[in-house]
Structure 1
Amino acid sequence: MFQLSFISILRPSQPVTMRLSNLHLLLICVVSEFLGVNIFLKGFFPVKKAVEGYATFHYLPNEPYGSATTDEGFASDNEPDIGIAPVRPVFGRLVVVLIDALRADFVFGERNHDHMPYTRALLSRGATRSFLARAHPPTVTMPRIKALTSGTIPGFIDIVLNFDSVALAEDNLISQMHRQGRQLFFYGDDTWMKLFPGHFADADGTTSFFVTDYTEVDNNVTRHVRPALSNPHWDALILHYLGLDHIGHLGGPTSPLVHPKLQEMDAIIQTIHEAVTEQDKSLVLPTLIMLCGDHGMSDAGSHGGASNSETITPIVFISSAFKQVEGAVRPHPDEVYQIDVAPTLSLLMGLPVPQNSLGVAIPMMLEDNLSARQHLRALQLNSHQLSQVLKQNVDSFETDEGYVAYQRAVRFHSTWLSHTATSSSIDSQVISRKAMMQYIKSMRLMTDKVASSLARYDLHAMGIGLVLMWLVLCLLGYGISSLTSPTDVTSDLKLSILLLSGCCLATGITHVTLCTASGGATSEMLCAPSDEARVWSVMLVLLSGSLAAILLSALTQVGRLQQFFLSFSHISRFETFVLVGTISHTLSLASSSFVEEEHQTWYFLTLTVTLATFIHATASVIGHSSDKMATKVAIATATALVISRLLRAWNQTGIKWADQPDIGDWFVRPENKVSLSFVTALSFVIIYITRCFMRPNYKLLAALFGAYLYRYATGSLNLPIPFPSSQKGIHEAWVVYSLVFISLTHFVMRYTRCLYSLRSMSKGECINGPESDLLTTKPKNQVPPTLGHILEELCDIHIMLMALLLRPHNSCIIAMSVLLQHCIVGMVLPWLQMRLWAVTLVHIWMGQAAFFAQGNSNSIATVDISAGYIGMSSYIHAIAGLLTAISTYAGPILWLVRLLIYITEHHHNSFLSAIEVSYTLAISRALPLAIYTVLVTLQRYHLFVWSVFSPKLLYQTMNTCIVSGGMMFLLVHCGIVRWSMHDKHR
């Protein structure tokens, strides 16, 4: 990266210098930024390491009354036989019917009483025990299965690992049953087969990510139900149905497909219940059926966030052993935690409680099925297991409130055992009730304590990540201030070597000191005695030291920095507002409310700058009535204001008003399908007409028609006449993909020919954008296309993908965005004559406003993963991820492409302009990342750290990747153009 100056070698009388060009500095900063963010994320989202091993019945505490330890068939803890449970099992077999994305109101809601009539009838006659189970974020499938089976709280980073599940190493209910030789059958989401390989005697998995299939994915499960039930050798039958979740991703909880799907699930519950009820007549122990969901469903149909509709799911236990009590369905069942399922099922089925479980056995389930003595023994074992987890995670556990309450509960338990034979039944009940309540209280306290201690941040790694990001921010600030200097960052060679050595040495000493400091928590990532940790340490020490040396060398040139800051005294009012608005937005991220409602900030900024331009243009028209350009700008800004207001009202997002009805909600209602079809068709027409102002493109017209036919094939839209369609629109989607590929190939060919034309000075192929002003005297049909016009095909390609991937009601978002670009970029920005950095920031503002206008937010729940499976007949991880990213960031990408075209069209020296734009883009991401990571570090114990701050951190990282990709494409494009133009004029 450093270059030895040849001039200094040829002139030995001058000092030897080191030179770092602005481009090299920019590339170093981009790479360092990604490394810094990566290190910070690894420290902030550490992958929780499970304590290996499995719980057994060895070394369990005796009942707190010696002579009673072997009564009622309990195993004495002095006996090594682990096959005898301390609590007699109540149920012999288990059936789990897990319906993915089953919301609580689908089962218990008064408005949805006809969704599952058989289940509702069981609830009404008291043949069930029902609860509301609250899940911990993130509400995605793999972490929720972990919670249900192991009783542990998965980390937030599991939302990423959800896409690539690996075997569960922690102790869990499934492994306990497998270790005892019980036969487990499984059918459904193949995530279970990845988490528990080799555990199932019979299994058939289906992929959970192919969301456009909601029929076959469930039929593949149901076809196994009757054969499995007729098999006398199963001990546990697990069915994981995915269809409801897929319907939610496609159409939301109000989709007309929800009702028939839930009735289908209800029929399966009836089949299972009737079969096991008949079989229980000949069994020693009855069968327990558990109907549950892994997570809920947001009002938009997705999940992953922390709203009640996503975190609260129903749990319905059904068994012939339950005493039936006639009565209406309770409108508000008791609330438990999802992690409570694991210890509850373990104790009722005679299994050891998973050793890392943080769950508390559900009191009603124990009370209804166990005698008083067994009930207390079960609570004692659950409390003992939690106390062991407390000891592993809390240093001063002896004085912890939960542990003290546990000891008090044991004393009550001992008192009850000692006086059961002599005391009256009333006294005995009072003492036993006190013991039970004290056990439950102690377990809740210990669970809360351990859960809070699990957030163990790697502060060392986070600190190094912060240092890298702040060094990058400072260097980018210096780099953009020195763009006009040909010498860039220059210093004496000996001084540079001295600075580099000193900074690396200081960084290394600091790192070693922190790793070896006694009493401090060392970093597992950077301080562990492993080759990986050593490589990371050496690389980060050298990188941090090098960046610090470059910064110190740059700071010696104070005059250039002073000149840069003085240049801001001459900026216009519009440029001042753009600069202040960008900084203010970054500072607003310190508030959780501003993070939740970030869309309001972007809407305010974009509307304000548009309104100010309208006022300025109107004043110019009034003062100079002959100013035709000002008149056009006034009309354009007025149109932009109307469009921006519609965009703001189209999709309610954020948290506070997300549940309020909006225009998009009205169009997605089943009864408004005709209106949605008309608006979608009209939007596509507007898109094509507007794009024809740039250049006619019949491939775009065909792609828009193909996108409409795809939605018609999937049932989202209507056609006035019948039209043949493929199953699930796969063929129609591939027509659009083919047109995208053809357009991309055509673009590459035209682009290559254009560059060759510029290099060889041939006529008629294309011209550089700014040179078109010299050819205004020629007829329009004789003017060669500009390079910017050729780049317009990139914009068309992205619009093709947007039309296919975005949901039908968001087709209006595409049309309005295209119109807005025509108004803002085509008329307003050239008239305002702002500096290039301000123009770049305006494009970023518009892209962020478009991101939220699509219905996105800072919650994972608003990510529309269904876009990743359009036109796919099987799940391909890379393609699904790419399509989902394009769909989610469609708005920002559209404005980045427009920025590329703007630079090519309006700036003669496009490469220098590209470097300035790239620095601006890099700073626009480095500034919020550097400040936000500091805020997240300070707020790491905040109540909303996992529901608000952490998702935003992931969005910030992904946004940085998108912007960096656009920046690199811009640099490569302008570099190639510069090379071509250089050869042309050489």
Structure 2
Amino acid sequence: EKAHGNWMKLYLEGNASEVLMNMGKKVLKQYLEALAAMSSALSKQLGKYDMYSMIAGMVFVFQLLLVLVLAMPEALSGSAAVDLPVLSSLFSLPFYLLCLLLASVHVLVCTSAESSCYFCSLSWGLVFAAVAFSSAMFCILISLATRRLPLAPKIQGKNTGGDWSLSELDVLLLAGTIGHTLSLAASSFVEEEHQTWYFLLNTLCLAVFQDVCRKYFREQRGFGEEEELFLPSKDSHPSSHHKSEMSSEKWLALATPPFTLVCCRLLRSLNQTGVQWAHLPDVGHWLNSSDHKTVLSLLSAFCLVLIYLLVQRRCSLVSKFALALGLLGVYSYRAAVGNVLFPWQQSTRTTSKGTVEARFVYVFVLGILFTGTKGLLRSQILTADAKLKSRGLWEIYSGLVLLVSLLFRAHNLPVLCCCLLIQTLMAQFIWKKLHYDAAQTTIMHYWFGQAFFYFQGNSNNIATVDISVSFVGLESYIEAPAIVLTALSTYAGPLLWACHLVCYLSSERERSPVAIGHGCYCLALLRSVPAAAYIVLVTVLRYHLFIWSVFSPKLLYESMHLLLTAGVCLFFITMEQSHSTSKS
């Protein structure tokens, strides 16, 4: 400061000698040294990130993503089979050279690292397994990429390419999915992500309504032969129903998209989520108040009855009986913990944990799941009966619905009811009648699942996770059941829509034998692209002001959602492989 003051004094006096110039250079040098010292001190206070492990993880993720992208023509072809050159890659010279190169890089980084590194702390066996995996994936990527070249030899019996035509609905689905992925780069869009899905879902309902109008009103005018030009599918068939049935079917199909919009609007008012409007009162708070316990009791009873009517139609007689008793146990559990009332029960009655009632429901959940699994295994191994397989899948789905109805709070039962009702109407009057293909149906299920995740009251904030469900039916905290119950309750919306997708595509196997394979691929790609993009965004924005309050919780949600989707895709693949084995 003193040197700067002397320089200013000489400058104001009009001194133009060499002394002024030298003093100015000295002051400038001191300022630059001070800025460098401040920058060094600030960097020491910043968070230290394990960049080597982060980069290694991103490499693994993007290798898997590129395999999915390059396999798209074969995965969506008529055979829905992807030939991955695994053995040829493992026995190739580039594979061993890459292993040596990556192992050398790992040794070099770990021996020269100044701070602790997670990847370097792993055992050498795990490290070399990761190195071998990355090298093999790189060789597979090179092999798949060479197939896509114009001069690459064609694989006999497989159509790896083709001219793809996109309908208006296809453009909407692709643009919406890509737009949502790009929106994750902004913290405000992450905080209010539910608004993005609400907008996309409303737009989807309007687009579906447009397709319904095109189908039925053009058929009514006698242009049934031109229907395929306007529908998203290429294999639509003329209807053979009577005029009365056609009329009722037409009006129910026309009413389904507006009814879906109404349900979604009501569900938005049930639970306020996000950041900007989370403090506002909603219908859920009104129902949970002690003054409206009677209303909540009537609503819960009505929802449980409606759940039974929507789910039981494809179950066996034993499963129907178990489902009815299980739903009765759900109401008994909510009455025991004090959320609802029986008609003969007084409001001043002391509450309990409801452990006995919850375990009563768990017995029927396990029974229904066991019955469905037994039927599914019989259809896969012994008889190859499509009806038995469809019933087994639906009973597994029914068991999950019963479990979710137990875990949901009483005021969230309308969310489950609307979920089942929309699934029933869309499957009966939209997806089947308009002959949407597996890819379109999968993306619609994915969008609905994402929207219902937020209809439950969830957000990208850890504070909205309902920890109380980890104690349902338990006397004390047990880690493994608590994790499973919390995950099922939090991701009930996406999980139920994914399970319904399995049931629906399995029932459509006669019309499209490779529907399950296409659905599995599309679901895996839908979850992989946002997850991979978000990993890059979080890495780039690791010094962002909201990295720990906004971006990191979202990364945790994305990771858990990706894990559940991987489980569903594994179930897809198991069913497809079993079907191929029994068919051969």
Q: Normalised by the size of structure 2, how large is the TM-score?
A: 0.81
CA distance in 2, matches of 1:959, 1:487: 25
- Name the structure 2 match of 1:951: 553
CA distance in 1, matches of 2:194, 2:279: 15
Are 2:131 and 1:541 equivalent residues in the alignment? yes
Residue 630 (structure 1) shift: 4.1
- When residues 873 and 489 of structure 1 are mapped into structure 2, their CA distance, relative to the original with a 3 A threshold, is closer
Residue 953 (structure 1) shift: 0.5
- Name the structure 1 match of 2:118: 525
- Name the structure 1 match of 2:213: 618
CA distance in 1, matches of 2:283, 2:64: 43
1:158-189: CA deviation from partner (whole Å, max 9, x where unpaired): xxxxxxxxxxxxxxxxxxxxxxxxxxxxxxxx
CA distance in 2, matches of 1:688, 1:611: 30
CA distance in 1, matches of 2:312, 2:350: 29
- When residues 611 and 397 of structure 1 are mapped into structure 2, their CA distance, relative to the original with a 3 A threshold, is same
CA distance in 1, matches of 2:192, 2:431: 28
Are 2:94 and 1:499 equivalent residues in the alignment? yes
Amino acid at match of 2:314: M
Contact 1:481 1:561 in 2 (8 A): no
- Name the structure 2 match of 1:719: 342
Residue 560 (structure 1) shift: 7.9
- Name the structure 1 match of 2:171: 576
CA distance in 1, matches of 2:141, 2:376: 39
Contact 1:840 1:899 in 2 (8 A): yes
Contact 2:375 2:389 in 1 (8 A): no
CA distance in 1, matches of 2:364, 2:110: 56
1:458 corresponds, among 19, 37, 50, to: 50
Are 2:515 and 1:920 equivalent residues in the alignment? no
More helix per residue: 2
Unaligned stretches of 5+ residues in structure 2: 1-32, 221-242
CA distance in 1, matches of 2:255, 2:55: 51
- Name the structure 1 match of 2:236: none
Instruction: Please tell me whether Structure 1 or Structure 2 has the larger radius of gyration of its CA atoms.
Output: 1
- When residues 491 and 706 of structure 1 are mapped into structure 2, their CA distance, relative to the original with a 3 A threshold, is closer
Amino acid at match of 1:467: V
CA distance in 2, matches of 1:804, 1:891: 14
CA distance in 1, matches of 2:461, 2:300: 27
Contact 1:596 1:654 in 2 (8 A): yes
Residue 968 (structure 1) shift: 1.0
1:662-682: CA deviation from partner (whole Å, max 9, x where unpaired): 221211122111111111111
- When residues 705 and 491 of structure 1 are mapped into structure 2, their CA distance, relative to the original with a 3 A threshold, is closer
Instruction: Map 1:786-935; keep pairs closer than 5 Å.
Output: 786-908=388-510, 912-935=514-537
CA distance in 1, matches of 2:61, 2:43: 32
1:587 corresponds, among 172, 176, 182, to: 182
Instruction: Map 1:443-842; keep pairs closer than 5 Å.
Output: 452-453=45-46, 455-483=47-75, 484=77, 488-490=83-85, 497-515=92-110, 521=114, 524-527=117-120, 532-559=122-149, 567=162, 569-625=164-220, 628=247, 629-695=249-315, 697-722=320-345, 727-755=352-380, 758-759=383-384, 767-768=385-386, 785-842=387-444
- Name the structure 2 match of 1:16: none
- When residues 725 and 746 of structure 1 are mapped into structure 2, their CA distance, relative to the original with a 3 A threshold, is farther
Q: Does the residue aligned with 2:569 lie in a helix, a strand or coil? A: helix
CA distance in 2, matches of 1:731, 1:397: 69
1:238-278: CA deviation from partner (whole Å, max 9, x where unpaired): xxxxxxxxxxxxxxxxxxxxxxxxxxxxxxxxxxxxxxxxx
Are 2:559 and 1:941 equivalent residues in the alignment? no
- When residues 725 and 789 of structure 1 are mapped into structure 2, their CA distance, relative to the original with a 3 A threshold, is farther
1:972 corresponds, among 540, 559, 574, to: 574
Q: Does the residue aligned with 1:966 lie in a helix, a strand or coil? A: helix
CA distance in 1, matches of 2:86, 2:583: 32
Q: Does the residue aligned with 2:119 lie in a helix, a strand or coil? A: coil
Instruction: Map 1:427-446; keep pairs closer than 5 Å.
Output: none
Unaligned stretches of 5+ residues in structure 1: 1-395, 404-445, 760-766, 769-784
Q: Does the residue aligned with 1:624 lie in a helix, a strand or coil? A: helix
Contact 1:795 1:894 in 2 (8 A): yes
Amino acid at match of 1:860: I
- When residues 568 and 708 of structure 1 are mapped into structure 2, their CA distance, relative to the original with a 3 A threshold, is farther
- When residues 622 and 833 of structure 1 are mapped into structure 2, their CA distance, relative to the original with a 3 A threshold, is closer
CA distance in 2, matches of 1:487, 1:884: 36
| Identical aligned residues as a percent | 34
Residue 708 (structure 1) shift: 0.8
Contact 2:85 2:140 in 1 (8 A): no
Amino acid at match of 2:423: Q
1:210-235: CA deviation from partner (whole Å, max 9, x where unpaired): xxxxxxxxxxxxxxxxxxxxxxxxxx
Contact 2:274 2:459 in 1 (8 A): yes
Residue 580 (structure 1) shift: 1.9
Contact 1:652 1:660 in 2 (8 A): yes
- Name the structure 2 match of 1:411: none
Amino acid at match of 2:374: M
- Name the structure 2 match of 1:257: none
Instruction: Map 1:187-266; keep pairs closer than 5 Å.
Output: none
CA distance in 2, matches of 1:859, 1:560: 48
Amino acid at match of 1:758: T
Residue 934 (structure 1) shift: 0.6
Q: Does the residue aligned with 1:856 lie in a helix, a strand or coil? A: coil
1:381-434: CA deviation from partner (whole Å, max 9, x where unpaired): xxxxxxxxxxxxxxx99996799xxxxxxxxxxxxxxxxxxxxxxxxxxxxxxx
Contact 2:508 2:515 in 1 (8 A): no
Contact 1:704 1:800 in 2 (8 A): yes
Does 1 or 2 have the higher relative contact order (CA < 8 Å, sep 6+)? 2
Contact 1:743 1:793 in 2 (8 A): yes
- Name the structure 1 match of 2:11: none
CA distance in 2, matches of 1:401, 1:499: 48
CA distance in 1, matches of 2:393, 2:514: 19
Residue 888 (structure 1) shift: 0.8
CA distance in 1, matches of 2:58, 2:540: 12
- When residues 527 and 831 of structure 1 are mapped into structure 2, their CA distance, relative to the original with a 3 A threshold, is same
- Hey, which bits of structure 1, 4+ residues long, moved more than 6 A? 396-403, 560-566, 723-726
CA distance in 1, matches of 2:294, 2:140: 63
Query: Aligned residue pairs: how many?
Result: 514
CA distance in 2, matches of 1:667, 1:498: 67
CA distance in 2, matches of 1:923, 1:685: 37
CA distance in 2, matches of 1:894, 1:717: 25
Residue 503 (structure 1) shift: 2.8
- When residues 514 and 753 of structure 1 are mapped into structure 2, their CA distance, relative to the original with a 3 A threshold, is closer
Residue 590 (structure 1) shift: 0.6
Instruction: Map 1:142-153; keep pairs closer than 5 Å.
Output: none
Q: Normalised by the size of structure 1, how large is the TM-score?
A: 0.49
- When residues 451 and 743 of structure 1 are mapped into structure 2, their CA distance, relative to the original with a 3 A threshold, is farther
1:917-951: CA deviation from partner (whole Å, max 9, x where unpaired): 22222212221121111100110000000000000
Instruction: Map 1:261-276; keep pairs closer than 5 Å.
Output: none
After superposition, the CA RMSD in angstroms is 3.1
Contact 1:904 1:910 in 2 (8 A): no
Amino acid at match of 2:254: A
Amino acid at match of 1:525: Y
Amino acid at match of 2:204: V
1:860-885: CA deviation from partner (whole Å, max 9, x where unpaired): 10110101101211221111111111
- Name the structure 2 match of 1:339: none
More strand per residue: 1
